[in-house]
Structure 1
Amino acid sequence: MRPKEIIQKWVEAFNKADSDELAEMYSEDAVNHQVPEEPVEGKENIRKMFQEEFARAEMVCIVENIFEDGEWGILEWKDPLGLRGCGFFHVVEDKIIFQRGYWDKLSFLRQHGLPIPEE
């Protein structure tokens, strides 16, 4: 599957809050680095991350653009509350081996009424 197709499937699973389906899209030793957070390593840890995040807040990914260049796919997204971000997916042999996401954590926390960590 092309990276663009993987991302389209990823968005469908994300919008169903299906952490198991999402995790199956990653290689065993994949890394998911949402830049406001520490990197998460390994498929099972990525599954757990999604489970925890879906339990914390209702999240919806609305695709604005999906771009593809070789083994890389880029997702530009927004959500119904106005948050915007982008994600980079490195796909090898139909599995995500690396993902990096950029979004505004402070805006996310405020929009969902979640506690803002003190420094």
Structure 2
Amino acid sequence: MQPKQIVQQWVDAFNQGDADKIAEFYSENAVNHQVANQPVVGKAAIKQMFSNEFSNAEMVCIVENIFQDGEWAILEWKDPIGLRGCGFFQFENGLIVLQRGYWDKLSFLKAHKLPIPSE
């Protein structure tokens, strides 16, 4: 299966809010770096991250574009409340080894009425 197709399946699992299903897309030592946060390393930690996020906010990913370049897929997305972002997924042997996401964390926290951390 091509990276572009795998990302579409990842989006389907994301929209189901299923952390177990999402975790299956990652290699054991994968890194998920949502650049507004610290990198999360390892399949188990990534699963826990998604589990926490799904319990904090109802999130929906609407695909605008999925591009593929070799072992990379790029997801451009929006959600029903107007947030937008993009994600870069690197694959090895059909599994995500690196994911990097770009989105506006402050807008996300405000839109979902979540606490804004003080720094």
* Common fold: TM-score over 0.5: yes
- What TM-score, normalized to structure 1? 0.99
Matches within 5 A, 1:32-51: 32-51=32-51
Q: Partner letter of residue 116 of structure 1? A: I
Residue ranges of structure 2 left out of the alignment (5+ in a row): none
Instruction: Specify the SS of the correspondent of 1:110.
Output: helix
Identity, % of aligned positions: 67
Partner of 1:110: 110
Q: Partner letter of residue 99 of structure 2? A: Q
Matches within 5 A, 1:85-96: 85-96=85-96
Partner of 1:5: 5
Partner of 1:65: 65
Matches within 5 A, 1:70-81: 70-81=70-81
Matches within 5 A, 1:15-34: 15-34=15-34
Instruction: Specify the SS of the correspondent of 2:118.
Output: coil
Which 4+ runs in 1 deviate beyond 4 A? Answer: none
Residue ranges of structure 1 left out of the alignment (5+ in a row): none
Q: Determine the C-alpha separation between the residues in 2 that align with 1:61 and 1:109.
A: 16
Instruction: Specify the SS of the correspondent of 2:117.
Output: coil
Aligned Cα root-mean-square deviation (Å): 0.4
CA deviations over 1:61-97 (Å, ceiling 9, x no partner): 0000000000000000000010000000001111000
- What TM-score, normalized to structure 2? 0.99
Instruction: Specify the SS of the correspondent of 1:17.
Output: coil
Instruction: Specify the SS of the correspondent of 2:59.
Output: coil
Partner of 1:99: 99
Count of residues in correspondence between the two structures:
119
Q: Determine the C-alpha separation between the residues in 2 that align with 1:110 and 1:44.
A: 28
1:55 aligns with 2:55: yes
